[in-house]
Amino acid sequence: MPKAAYPFTPDQDANELLASSGTALLIGLCLEQQVRSAKAMSGPLALKQRLGHLDAAKIAKIPDAKIQAVFRKPPAIHRFPGMMAKRVKALCARIADDYGNDGTRVWARLKSSEEVYRRLRDLPGFGDGKAASGVRILAKFGGRLLDGWRRYSSDEDLPWLYREGERVE
């Protein structure tokens, strides 16, 4: 992934984390449900600040009550902290077990957007829409311009974009 920040929150640190960590990007996409995009995409930074890391294997091993408490601590990481803590924990277990504890390995070395879509779709907390948005995000902002990426989602389905802390209409 590029060093440049992804423009999905008004917080530059959150955007830089999304661009530099595949695990962070996947957690942000997982949280993208029934909350504003900026809130979801800021979730990985909040989680990292509260835990001191975004190590998928370590997150997967956190007891349910503890991870839920981390998500519930004010301000809550998500509107539905208990449910989303479980989903993020399951996502992190998959990243740890199947992708060598590195979220970028979900899409690394793949040759087609269809393969990326299938892998994203197979992750806990991902449906068709999130997987399609993930393909488009990786192409437009992550430099993964794989054949067929334009078929997946549309710009209207992407998280809101921010420039200099302000939402771009």
Give the CATH number for residue 161: 1.10.340.30
Flag whether 6 is in a domain. Answer: no
Flag whether pLDDT at 149 surpasses 70. yes
Classify residue 1: in a domain, yes or no: no
Asked whether residue 46 is domain-assigned, the answer is yes
* Domain residue limits at 144: 12-168
**Phi and psi torsions of 100, nearest 5°:** 60, 30
Answer yes or no: is 114 within a domain: yes
4: in domain: no
Residue 169 scores a pLDDT above 80 = no
Residue 6 burial (10 A CB sphere; 0-12, 13-18, 19+) = buried
Asked whether residue 3 is domain-assigned, the answer is no
Which of 150, 99, 105, 153 is closest to 1 using CA atoms? 105
Kindly report the pTM of this predicted structure.
Answer: 0.93
- The string of pLDDT tens digits covering residues 49-96 is 999 999 999 999 999 999 999 999 999 999 999 999 999 999 999 999
Say if CB 161 and CB 8 are below 8 A apart. Answer: yes
What is the tally of structural domains in the chain? 1
Look-up of token digits 């997150």? 59
- 14 or 155, higher pLDDT: 14
d(CA 7, CA 67): 27
Residue 135 included in any domain: yes
Instruction: Look at residue 166 in the predicted model and tell me its pLDDT.
Output: 79
Determine, yes or no, domain membership for 56.
yes
